[in-house]
Structure 1
Amino acid sequence: MTPFGYRRAQSIDEALRLGLTPGAHFLGGGTNLIDLAKGGVVQPMLLIDVSRLPLADVTATADGGARIGAMARNSDVANHPLIRTRYPLLSQALLAGASPQLRNMATVGGNLLQRTRCPYFYDTGFEHCNKRAPGSGCGAVGGINRNHAILGASAACIATHPSDMCVALAALRAQVHVRGPRGERAIAMADFHRLPGDTPQRDTTLAAGELILGVDLPPDGFAGHAHYLKVRDRASYAFALVSVAAALDVRGGVIRDAALALGGVAHKPWRRPEAEARLVGHEPSDAAFGEAADLLLQGARPASQNGFKLTLARRAIVRALQTAGAQA
């Protein structure tokens, strides 16, 4: 492990100032970053501890939505009364991730910044990983790729984003609030994570030195009509082969609005608004759910070992929508 400096930021302004140091990384719960540093995947020169900053609250907003601070622990958010009652999709997704011990440590901001669990990225013994060493190639393309992407991948990278929380936030159309050297801005969840293209080493659209302050949820949380379905190789402490965040607003037997996103299939949470729009105005039915699934999976290109994900994802989408529809 490369030697590094450590500073505990006493304020957001101090954190931002320290964040301009070459090789600096913000440290929250450390459940991902410390593993990466231990393995030599990343080599921080300075860790800036932001875990004590006043960014851990979960509060209702004036417009009827909610603000979740970046330093809020995953377990606290999942069990917060406001989230459990008004945003059950997010609560379910958080509780499906990791283990209780990790959820007690992990922060919302850190969850947004999780790196892929692709073995070619995590193990520096593998020479070819464009995400870790740009220009070196992608070992997964011709290697072991059962868990890899079927949507939005490129010749440079077929890794998947590992977060459960982010899939729910994408479906709920959340916004991420950040502050950096150029001031504060809001980033739609749909735009926060990047597809790999030719620069897979860049996971997000964050600019250099920007610090995540929190996440805003819109007023409509699809309370009571939501389901997060995670399909994995074992019942707990495993990343998704496919996950689905599905929610419906059903009134008078007709779908008025829908929220739908996939995890485990792309470099970012996968959402297509046209798939949600296909459901609006229809009665909840397997036929309508199947059409939405086909739209969401349009353009899928499985790798050599993960063709099963296409069938698995379609069935999971329909099942999640059925469950949400039955609640409605």
Structure 2
Amino acid sequence: MHPFSFTKVASTRDALNAGLRGGRYIAGGTTLVDLMRETVERPETLVDITGLPLHRITVTERGGLRIGALVRMAEAAADSRVRTTFPVISQALELSASAQLRNMATVGGNIMQRTRCTYFRDVTAACNKREPGSGCAALEGVNRTHAILGASGDCVATHPSDVAVAFAALDASVHLLGPDGQRSVPVTGFLLRPGSTPNREHALRKGELITAVEIPAHPRPLKSGYLKVRDRQSYEFALTSAAVALHVRGGVIREAKVAAGGVGTVPWKLPAVERHLIGERPSDALWTEASERAADGARPLEHNRFKVELLKRTDERQLRIVGGNR
């Protein structure tokens, strides 16, 4: 680990000033500290923001939820408003990591975490995300866990967050505060596909700070849930996952929100699946037909071709769990 300075701030103004000077924000530190140990990240200054007033979960005027960036994952998962209104969020958080990590890690930090690609974390390997222009070792290497959606010729790494998949499905937005004031960006626009600049992973501007994630109100009743498929049941990242939310009224699906994880370079919305569901009556046949569209546009690599079928099956299974067997 390389030498660095450490400062603790008590106000957002102090935090923004430190960020503008090149400081890296840190709260739970469950990702950044690991990357510093591995010398993947070498920040000169860490800015401790745990003292900022971003620890609350509130109900918005329209009936959505606003989760402060510094709310711990365990706190968000246990909150009765989250569990009742959007169980898909609670389930995604509880499946994300060990209890110890969930007690430390924050919601803002979770969506900002960097890929678990082994080549990214191996400083001797070629990685355009870590060192632009060096190449992507995963393209010709062992790529079983890598992306089949949203990849480019420069990067095929998946985004590791589970709760970001739930946020994407629910059309959540990320609230930001920076030198130029406040702004809001949809989760699906905040996390960026690699393209030719895989080192640019998010839409944060210099010095900006995540203040909250807001989930808009959805029609009630809304049934939702999260399914994660992985190599082992404990403390493992997704091979595939599915976040599903359905609003059924009068026996017809009026609204469908579906996203996938473990298969995309970002949390991956499945609009073709959503379109196939809306206006239809729940049925076993419908779940099967809709899930056939889950892997539209997939470009598998040598070792992860199995993810195409696994994604379809994961999506179908979660549609049945949330929508019921008919």
Identify the TM-score tier after normalising by the shorter chain.
over 0.9
Q: Distance in 2 between matches of 1:290 and 1:122?
A: 38
Whole-Å Cα distance in 2 between the matches of residues 215 and 308 of structure 1?
33
Find the counterpart in structure 1 of residue 11 from structure 2: 11
Q: Does the 8 Å CA contact 1:244/1:262 hold for their aligned counterparts?
A: yes
- Aligned residue runs from structure 1 range 75-114, under 5 A: 75-114=74-113
- Partners in 1 of 2:156 and 2:29 — Cα distance? 25
Contact 1:227 1:321 survives alignment (8 Å): no
- Residue identity matched to 2:102: R
Report what 2:247 is aligned to.
Answer: 249
> Which residue number corresponds to residue 120 of structure 1?
119
Given that 1:245 and 1:260 are in contact with CA atoms closer than 8 Å, whether structure 2 keeps it comes out as yes
Counterpart among 147, 150, 158 of residue 148 in structure 2: 150
Q: Among the aligned pairs, what percent are the same residue?
A: 50
Instruction: Name structure 2 gaps, 5 residues minimum.
Output: none
Counterparts of 1:165 and 1:175, CA distance in 2? 13
- Normalized against structure 2, the TM-score is what? 0.97
Q: How far 1:275 sits from its partner (Å)?
A: 2.6
Equivalent residues in 2 for 1:275-314, closer than 5 Å = 275-314=273-312
Deviation sequence 1:66-99 (CA, Å, 0-9, x none): 1100000000000001101111010010001110
Counterparts of 1:34 and 1:120 in 2: how far apart (Å)? 18
- Alignment map for 1:223-234 (pairs within 5 Å): 225-234=223-232
| CA distance 1:230–1:221, change in 2 (3 Å) | farther
Structure 1 letter corresponding to 2:280: H
- CA RMSD of superposed structures (Å): 1.4
**Counterpart mapping for 1:162-177 below 5 A:** 162-177=160-175
User: How has the CA–CA distance of structure 1 residues 271 and 222 changed in structure 2, closer, same or farther, with 3 Å as cutoff?
Assistant: farther
Aligned residues between the structures: 326
User: Which secondary structure does the structure 2 equivalent of 1:93 belong to?
Assistant: helix
> What's the TM-score, normalizing by structure 1?
0.96
Contact 2:16–2:208 (CA under 8 A) maintained in structure 1: yes
Change (3 A) 1:222 1:47: farther
Query: Residue type matched to 2:214 in 1?
Result: D
Higher deviation after alignment, 282-291 or 4-13: 282-291
Q: CA 1:241–1:222 in 2, change beyond 3 Å: closer, same or farther?
A: farther
Instruction: Give every structure 1 segment of 4 or more consecutive aligned residues whose post-TM-superposition deviation is greater than 3 Å.
Output: 221-224
**3-state secondary structure, aligned to 2:167:** helix
- 1:225-273 deviations in Å (ceiling 9; x for gaps): 2121100000110000000001111112110101100000111000033
1:321 equivalenced with 2:319 (yes/no): yes
Partner of 1:57: 56
Contact 1:168 1:261 in 2 (8 A): yes
